[in-house]
Amino acid sequence: KCVLHHYPFIGDRLIIGKFCAIAEGARFIMNGANHAMSGFSTYPFNIFGHGWEQGFDPQTWSKEIRGDTIVGNDVWIGMDAVIMPGVKVGHGV
């Protein structure tokens, strides 16, 4: 799996442009990997699997969200690359 920590209740998107080449082992880390520093704990509750998010108010995460992750058109992403949350990779990179 190359998209990690993507949870629908957060609302972030991974947008990949046309004619992109993504090598084996490349990973996209989504905003769900960020720890909510304003909460009662920074513990990574997502390790429990599905259902953990029902105990959280999505509005409390809004300060921690870095936005959509966007990969432009005609982009090459190399082997074992890691793209962090909210990164915008321009066209032709």
Beta-bridge partner residues of 11: none
| Exposed / middle / buried, residue 40 (Cβ in 10 Å: 0-12, 13-18, 19+) | exposed
Residues 72/43, Cβ–Cβ less than 8 Å: no
Q: What residues are annotated to the active site?
A: 35
